Amino acid sequence: MKKQLIVSISGLRGIYGEGLDLEVVIRFAAGFALLHNKLKNNLVIGRDGRSTGRILSRAMASLLQAMGWQVIDVRLVTTPTIAMAVPYYQAVGGIMITASHNPPEWNGIKFLNGSGEFISAEDWGLIEAWVGSEEDIPYTSYDKVGDYNRVKDALTHHIEAILALPYIHKDTIRARNFKIVVDGANSVGSIAIPALLEALGVFPERIVKIHDSMSGNFERPGEPLEAHLEKLREVVVQEDANLGLAVDPDGDRLALVDNNGVYVNEELTQVIAADFLWGFRSGPFVTNLSSSMAIDTVAQKYGMKVYRSSVGELNVVQKMKAVGAILGGEGNGGVILPEVHYGRDSLVGTALLLQHLANQEISLAQLRGSLPQYVMIKEKMALGSADVGAILARLAAKYAHENISTEDGLRVTREDSWVHIRASNTEPILRIYGEAKSKVLAEDLVGSFKDFISRKGAKAQRGC
């Protein structure tokens, strides 16, 4: 397989035609199906708006039928919607065809177990081992070929589960008469978020959509970062809207723009959700090592505990279950509410946000101003041929006298700042995140670590 094919706990990703092709995805789908070979029943399949998604979906659906599985195709859905669909349709697993925030030429697969949660690292290992073997795909006989069913109610079920939460009150939200701009990233969020807003009581004529075609060609980069949301910020101001909502192509991440057209750091999405939920529930919160310390500050206000895990939704979920967390998430805009399901969910994040604003009778700008103010810098470095393990070991030795964690790369935590260095799960890069009370301090912090890595990386490549 070619270098662009990346396999991690976050799924399989690659550039279509340059490592990711029909042969590859069919082998992986077969390997996933064989994990459940003695439980043959339903498997759910869905996809985001990428132009190659239909090709991969048809191929995998045909493969699964040929192996004797009953295929339930939920078609164009968000990742959290398919996570809800798996147990709803009593399936033994699910396949989401997406490359998340990667560019449109990329695609990939996320596998879910019967609970609608990402499969474990151990299961990924079994799949990879089978894919790399020379075993033939075990097709079934003519009389045992599986059925194929396309269904339409997966999103409806997802929304109904959110509306059923005891602290979500659509009448209160409707009374605020919100005007909301939705940036759907030219993918499935363009369908899911407006549908949720209407169900929550937002009037259809008060929902303004941008980047809402399903062309498969993203008009902005997939990650809902400030630099990518210029149009959303402009339209919020032009429309005199109360807020703007932006998602990534598979709809599990949520970023916000306030009523003044100011980007609300995606790091604050989970903080806002926690600030709301702790008003109704007591219990710990789990986030990853690369997420803002703002969550710790808000937790102190409520007397709650924050735990941290390695980066990756699977890792956060495992820690949530271990500590009995009532809420969790990742600083990339992901909110995980176990009362709905164990997975990042932009629809859940949207509902909690609107209810919070409605209950407090404040604007998003006012809410943003009430939250802890930190500045985070997110940098990337190409890995090249550098020995990342050796570089991280040198860093750990250098800062051994400080508060460090080596659970996932290296995190150095100080009283009012931190830096986290780790290899990406989804791209061939090194991620360097740092946070402090000002941009200058954050840039200096990240810059010092980048300089160290550049020097040590250069020495490693020279064989020093």
Q: Which residue, 157, 338, 345, is CA-closest to 251?
A: 345
Q: Which amino acid is at 368?
A: R
* Joined tokens for residue 13: 């990703």
For 262, counting Cβ atoms within 10 Å of its Cβ (0-12 exposed, 13-18 middle, 19+ buried), the class is middle
Q: How many whole angstroms separate alpha carbon 338 and alpha carbon 186?
A: 28
SS3 of residue 456 by DSSP: helix
Whether the Cβ atoms of residue 24 and residue 14 lie closer than 8 Å to each other: yes
Q: CA angle, 349 as apex, 302 and 118 as ends, to 5°?
A: 105
SS3 of residue 71 by DSSP: strand
The active-site residue out of 100, 187, 346, 417 is 100
- In the residue annotation, 141 being an active-site residue is answered as no
Whether the Cβ atoms of residue 194 and residue 178 lie closer than 8 Å to each other: no
> Locate tokens 């393990």: which residue?
389
Q: Which amino acid is at 277?
A: L
Q: Which amino acid is at 442?
A: A
Q: Which residue, 187, 212, 211, is CA-closest to 102?
A: 187
Q: How many whole angstroms separate alpha carbon 72 and alpha carbon 148?
A: 6
Q: How many whole angstroms separate alpha carbon 189 and alpha carbon 186?
A: 8
For 269, counting Cβ atoms within 10 Å of its Cβ (0-12 exposed, 13-18 middle, 19+ buried), the class is buried
Active-site residue set:
100
